[in-house]
Chain A
Amino acid sequence: MSVLVVAEHENGQLKAETAKVINAALKVAGGVDVLVAGYNVDDVVQSAANIAGVTKVCVVDNALFEYQLAENTADLIVEIAGGYTHILASASTTGKNTLPRVAALLDVSQISEIIDVIDSETFKRPIYAGNAIATVKSNEAKKVITVRASAFESQSEQSACEVEILSLALDNTLSNFVSVEQTESERPELNVAPVVISGGRGMQNGENFALLNGIADKLGAAIGASRAAVDAGFVPNDMQVGQTGKIVAPDLYIAVGISGAIQHLAGMKDSKVIVAINKDPDAPVFQVADYGLVADLFDVLPELESAL
């Protein structure tokens, strides 16, 4: 068994999901190699080398990989895939973009968004918006897998392991990076935040989302949203929690003015404690909430902020 984890990084920093994917990978084998493909990634390499269980970090530091476009990143992974039985990446937008391309180039079926490792061939994953959990066994010689990071613990640290610099001649004539529009935020990232407070259609407009700021500040929380709030233009789409947005499993999830549609629950129902604030006592969100408060959010939010 030899496992390769593709590191997730952004703006020269390793993303917290990677330590969780490594935790999942260690349930398959005793040690894992990590691939860092990017540009100016010294800090990323160092962080990856310090994660417990990592045997070796393979590095490709080249301007070609600055934006980790699927076309060339997939070619790179295929190039080094020969030595590995398992290739894992986070089920983030980057992992989801690249790994199926890798799988097809290797002619193997991929397993998406695993939430548990039974053994080196058998995994659990949610289907139908999380309303069913499938146990699947891969008969492929090479297993290409994306990991739902929120379902695994983070790995602890170790003293740095071996680093191998790879130089590969690859090209990408198919696609070019044009621009990026990043959502600026001082808050913790949604998928790794210990507390998440989300607003839905009940927030009525984008300005009212400011009511969540004070509470989020006091709790060190990230702010999320339902699809209704995103579609209505209240907040940007990368704040969406749900089947088609981000999947979160914080210690505390506070749903404010969110009815609790199947698609939203798919993104948060594995949170440890769920609080729902909604004026409709029949809202489906109360069926998954540990603590429910039936009240007008405009009365409750200022009160909650001062009570914390």
Chain B
Amino acid sequence: MKVLVPIKRVIDYNVKARVKPDNTDVDLTNVKMAMNPFCEIAVEEAIRLKEAGTATEIIAVSIGDKACQEQLRTALALGADKAIHIQTDAKLESLHVAKLLAKLVDEHQPELVILGKQSIDSDNNQTGQMLAALTRRSQGTFASKMVIDGDKALVTREVDGGLQTLSLLLPAVVTTDLRLNEPRYASLPNIMKAKRKPLEVIEADTLGVNLTPRIELLKVEEPSKRQAGVIVDSVEELVSKLRNEAKVIS
């Protein structure tokens, strides 16, 4: 089966985002960028399907400016067969991304699309579900286990009360949770080989999707700061403060 894996270039997860002084957005100049951690898990899962003989071809796709080709090369070094870069400088909402991806799904007809459950910058957790809706496919979100069984995918999902297993009719859209797998690192020879793998560039505006923003970003602020706390010396002092000062225990 063919697997499509959309990936996103985001701020490195160890970096604390800083708000611009003019409150227009978060400042990303000279900030370390990386593949979104949930997307790494999606790539890894696709590679494991290929190693198991289930997947025959893995196509990695990223949407954004030229810099996201760096993350596509990473996906190729990890084991993706080819990459597609949908080039745009526009700031996209999840719906736009889902619509662009739906065009690729129409063209390539992958049996499985694996995405991360959310990107750690916008924290939307929308794209996979929207893509499933637009392509009228089944969806298995927040997956911590996936087993392909004939024309079905058995997906175990992380839900609020525990774990839920669904049987999805293929073709399906699956989004990854952190516990789906442990992503591997790219080896140096594979990074070198990835430079020769095909990377197709498509201009976003040739795909016939209206990318007009529907949500305006009016302001971005620092969250309210917490008052500096105190260090207590003993359990007695802690309990006494919680009882008499903070009054949160009786």
Residues of A within 8 A of B (CB): 10, 67, 69-71, 74, 92-94, 96-105, 107-113, 122, 126-140, 173-183, 191, 195, 219, 227, 230-231, 236-238, 243-244, 246, 251-252, 262-263, 269, 272-275, 281, 286, 288-294, 300, 303-304, 307-308
Contacts and interface: CB of A to CB of B under 8 A. Distances in A.
B230 A291 contact: yes
Given A97-B141, A179-B165, 20 more contacts: A96-B141, A108-B95, A109-B214, A111-B215, A122-B218, A128-B123, A135-B217, A135-B220, A136-B217, A175-B168, A177-B167, A178-B166, A180-B162, A183-B162, A244-B38, A246-B160, A252-B246, A289-B229, A307-B235, A307-B236
Contacts of B223: 126, 130-133, 269
Contact of A231 (B11, B179, B233): B179
Contacts of B154: 178
Contact of A128 (B26, B161, B248): B26
A109 B129 CA distance: 12
B135 to A, nearest CB: 10
Which A-B residue pairs are the 8 nearest by beta carbons?
A100-B129, A128-B17, A104-B133, A174-B138, A104-B130, A100-B126, A109-B214, A252-B248
B220 A100 contact: no
Contact of B239 (A102, A195, A308): A308
Given A238-B160, A273-B248, A112 B144 contact: no
Contact of B133 (A100, A139, A236): A100
Nearest to B102: A104
Interface of B: 11, 13-14, 16-19, 26, 38, 93-95, 98, 117-118, 120-134, 136-142, 144, 154, 157-169, 177-179, 213-223, 226-227, 229-236, 238-239, 241-242, 246, 248-249
B36 to A, nearest CB: 12
Contacts of A269: 223, 226
B98 A104 contact: yes
Please indicate which of the listed interface residues B18, B144, B235, B239 has the most CB atoms of chain A within 10 Å of its own CB: B235
A292 B50 CA distance: 49
A70 B129 contact: yes
A136 B139 CA distance: 28
Contact of B123 (A103, A127, A177, A191): A127
Given A137-B218, A175-B138, A231-B179, A273 B166 contact: no
